[in-house]
Each structure stands twice: as structure tokens, then as C-alpha cells.
Amino acid sequence: MSAPAALPGAPHLVRDGAVLRLDGHDLAALGRRFGTPLYVYSRRAMLDALAGYQRALQGRRHLVCYAMKANSNLAVLQTFAQAGCGFDIVSGGELDRVLAAGGDAAKVVFSGVGKTAAEMRQALVAGVRCFNVESEGELERLDEVARATGVRAPVSLRVNPDVDAGTHPYISTGLKGNKFGIAHADALAAYRRAAALPGLRVVGIDCHIGSQITQVEPYLDTAERMLDLVVQVEAAGIALEHIDFGGGLGITYTDEAPPPAETLVRRLLERVDARGFGDREILFEPGRSLVGNAGVLLTEVQYLKPGRTDEGGRNFCIVDAAMNDLMRPAMYQAWMRIEPCRQRDGVPLRWDIVGPVCESGDWLGRERDLVVQAGDLLAVLSAGAYGMTMASNYNTRPRAAEVLLDGTQVHLVRERESTAELFARERLLPG
Ligand code: LLP
């Protein structure tokens, strides 16, 4: 029998003989114990991913703000809070989660293009570290809310550097045509405006150019453009205490080879130091690269529906997880690796792995060569990021349960929803 082999990009996930293990745990056994669909995460994999950022940032003022939209389970947030992280949030709801998980509001940066006045008030009262402001209109509103609340709002401007991150158009955010950030050419004027508003206190500069980025160059181009701005803004007498390079570092789903976080951060810091800004506090907002390869989605094969090959038909492997559980394939045509939890001997057939939802777009993987039978468990890999957080209740499907592995310990960190919960807030008409 061959030695246990780690799967690409996921060192904590190994094929041990026929058995697929995450952090040593037999995934098939977990699926049977907790039922499917089931998200399973490795706490150790998350902390190891974080350690790459931390090693490169050691010895300088920094804050890693985990972009919790990637995975906002309270136990995941608790893990990162205990490891010293702050959080990048995009809603009042996310702030509530940070606080419920024991996170520190003073380490929270509040991003997003559409913050409401109520969310601003909530964040000011909680004492967030800063607002990443994305438009002039938002500056004006934040100033009003801050003055009415009696708390000066710490502000960083999210600059749109107009750099092509080379990623999927839906998750590319740093180009001129995107809704995000303040155009590079308008940023200096926006800083002047911010500095003049009495309710605001300018503290930093930030950017975020996209997600699933697999090269260092777009980051370096962005850094140069950001640092050019820092020079201009400070020449105008406005001090910037921190520089936030956003998130976006990709992971390996198939054959992508993104730089390790440690390399990316070191290369960026070289630029920062070379331009004489080594004394500034450095922030990052990683999401996917901290949790993506730390999680899998387990699903049970319900039916096999082979096509008539003489008619060019497709073979459908119908599983109990669907687009409502994991939206990425349907939404971005994302390719996510699918592995049997127990490998069978035999000649593989080419399957489309599809869910029970009534949409042709409801698929998890297409044209996958697998030996499967009804009742088998499959694992969709790299599902730790943007899996559960994007799940819905479409087709009145309760959302999956979540398990967090912590060494030898197994913790159920979210119970499966019941259908009664799904319509508990609905009302029948009288009579
Ligand atoms: N900071 C800001 C302001 C963001 O908008 C995002 C992600 C991040 C940080 C974290 O980016 P990451 O390190 O995770 O790439 N649902 C899509 C990804 C959407 C990303 C949105 N913004 C997907 O499943 O691929």
C-alpha cells in the first residue's frame, strides 16, 4: 500500500490507502456520524495558512484582518481572534458575529460600498478601528453620522488603482469599470475633503483588487500606485498611519500555483521599505487563502443516472448537496475538485455531479472520472471559503451542518437547520 499522499494545495488532506482523511480524521466516518451535506474544516489548516502571513510580518506593526465573508462560522472567527487577528467586515451583521465570537472591535476594518447610516452608527459605538470608505457620498454621510453620534470616525480611503488582477470578472474589483473604491485620480481630492470634515479622522489608505489572484505582479503594481498616493497625500499635510493591501490571494483548486502568502507579503514589504514607508502599520484582509483549503463539503450519492452513450448522453451522479449549499460552480463555473471519501477499485466513468435543485445550473462538477455507487460519500475540496457563507435555502433546503476539527477533537460548530426554522417567521393569512 502506498504512503499517505497529500492532495494538491491541501497539505492537511491526505489519501491514506482508500481513505480520505482531513487532519487524520476519516471523512466518510464524519459524514455518516453527522449526516450530509456537511462542511468539515481543519482548525490547524487555518492556523497554518495564517502563519504564512504572520512569519512575513513579524517584527513590524501589522494587523491581519480576516475577511470573514469567506467563512463566518463563530468558531472560525474565534480561532482567528485567538490567533491575534482582526476582521474585515462588510455589514452590521458581520460585526455582530465578530463580537459574539469574542473578537475585538478595535481590530475591525469596515469595508463595502453601501454602508447604511445604521451600520455606521453601530460600528462607531462598537469602536471599530476604521471605515474603509469607498465614495465621496459615503464620506459625507459618515461625517454626519459621526457628529450625531459624538464619535470621530477613523477613515481610510479605498483606492481603486485601476490594475488588472487577472481573475474572473465577477471577482475582479480593482479596475476602473468596477463599482469599488475611489478612482486613483480622484483620491487626493477625496483625502482633502475627508481631512476637512470635522466628524472624520484620516488614518490610512487601502485597496482590494480582486479575489483568487495567482500572481504577485498585480499586487506590486498596486503597491506602487498606492505608495505614489501616500506621497501626495502626505505632501498635502494629511498623515497616513497604515497601509492596507486588501486580500485576494488565490488558492489551488486545480493546477493554479499562487505564491505562498509569505512570499507575497515579503515582496510587498520590500517595495514598502524601498519607498521609505517601512514605519507604517501594514494591514492585510485575506479571506480565501486562510480558509479555502481548510474545508471540504461532504455529500452522499443518491442516484446514478447513466446516459445513453450511443446518443451522446451524459452520466449524472445525483448527490444530496446542491447549488444552495455550494454556489461557486453554478455562479462562477468554478472548478472544485471532487474526491470519493473511500476510493473504489474499478474503471472510472465520466460523471456530471449534480444536486437535487430544479435548475440545470445546479451542478458541483462536470465530467469527472470517478468510480462511484449510490450511497457513497464524496468530498468537494477547497470548500472552506465562500461555501457556507454563500449558502441559501432555495427549494426550502435547510442549510448544512458544520464541523471543525481541532487536532483529535471533533466539534459540531453549527447544527443542521430544520425546515420548521425556515418558515418560522412566515405567517398565514387570517381566516
Ligand atoms: N477585502 C475586501 C474588501 C473584499 O471585498 C474581499 C473579497 C476580501 C478582502 C477577501 O478576498 P479574498 O482574500 O477572499 O480573495 N464569492 C467569490 C469571492 C468574492 C470575494 C469578494 N471580496 C468566490 O467564491 O470566489
Distance of CA 424 from the midpoint of ligand 1 (Å): 32
Ligand 1 atom closest to Cα of residue 385: 24
Inter-residue contact 230 to 205 (CB < 8 Å)? yes
Residue 242 has pLDDT above 80, yes or no: yes
Least Cα distance to 245 among 263, 231, 259, 224 occurs for 224
pLDDT of 387: 98
Which helix (H) or strand (E) segment holds residue 262: the answer is helix 261-274
Distance of CA 211 from the midpoint of ligand 1 (Å): 5
Atom 7 in ligand 1: which residue has the minimum CA distance?
211
pLDDT of 111: 98
pLDDT of 179: 82
CA distances, 13 to each of 141, 273, 339, 386, 402 (Å)? 47, 37, 11, 19, 17
Ligand 1 pocket, Cβ-based, cut-off 6 angstroms: 67, 70, 88, 111, 171, 208, 211-212, 246-249, 285-289, 328, 332, 386
Q: Is the dihedral of CA 118, 124, 128, 132 positive or negative?
A: positive
Distance CA 211, CA 113 (A): 17
What are 185-238's pLDDT values in tens digits?
999 999 999 999 999 999 999 999 999 999 999 999 999 999 999 999 999 999
Confidence of residue 265 (pLDDT cuts 50, 70, 90): very high
Write out the three cell numbers for 179.
463599482
Inter-residue contact 174 to 207 (CB < 8 Å)? yes
Confidence of residue 172 (pLDDT cuts 50, 70, 90): low
Distance CA 5, CA 68 (A): 30
What are 348-394's pLDDT values in tens digits?
999 999 999 999 999 999 999 999 999 999 999 999 999 999 999 99
Long-range contacts of 112-121, Cβ-Cβ distance < 8 Å, separation of 24 or more: 113/138, 113/179, 113/180, 115/142, 116/92, 117/141, 117/144, 117/145, 118/92, 119/91, 119/92, 119/95, 120/145, 120/146, 120/153, 121/145, 121/148, 121/149
Confidence of residue 91 (pLDDT cuts 50, 70, 90): very high
Distance CA 17, CA 12 (A): 15
Spans of all domains in the chain: 5-42+293-422, 111-286
Residue 9 has pLDDT above 80, yes or no: no
CB atoms within 10 A of CB 216: 16
pLDDT of 170: 61
Length of the chain: 431
Residue of 285, 289, 325, 327 best suited for mutating to test ligand 1, as the one with most atoms within 8 Å of CB: 285
pLDDT of 162: 84
Distance of CA 70 from the midpoint of ligand 1 (Å): 7
Ligand 1 atom closest to Cα of residue 210: 15
* Three-class SS state of 229: helix
Distance CA 395, CA 356 (A): 9
The one-letter amino acid code at 393 reads N
Question: Candidates 2.60.120.1090, 2.40.37.10, 3.30.70.2190, 3.30.420.40; correct CATH number of 5-42+293-422?
Answer: 2.40.37.10
Q: What is the mean pLDDT of residues 127-141?
A: 97
- Least confident range of 28-32, 114-118, 152-156, 165-169: 165-169
pLDDT of 178: 76
Residue 171 has pLDDT above 70, yes or no: no
Q: Please state, for a pLDDT cut of 70, what percent of the chain lies above it.
A: 97
Confidence of residue 320 (pLDDT cuts 50, 70, 90): very high
Ligand 1 atom closest to Cα of residue 211: 15
Question: Candidates 3.40.50.10490, 3.20.20.10, 3.40.50.2300, 3.10.180.10; correct CATH number of 111-286?
Answer: 3.20.20.10
Atom 19 in ligand 1: which residue has the minimum CA distance?
171
Atom 16 in ligand 1: which residue has the minimum CA distance?
386
Distance CA 366, CA 354 (A): 8
pLDDT of 8: 79
User: Which residues are part of the catalytic machinery?
Assistant: 358
Residue of 46, 53, 64, 69 best suited for mutating to test ligand 1, as the one with most atoms within 8 Å of CB: 69
Distance of CA 248 from the midpoint of ligand 1 (Å): 6
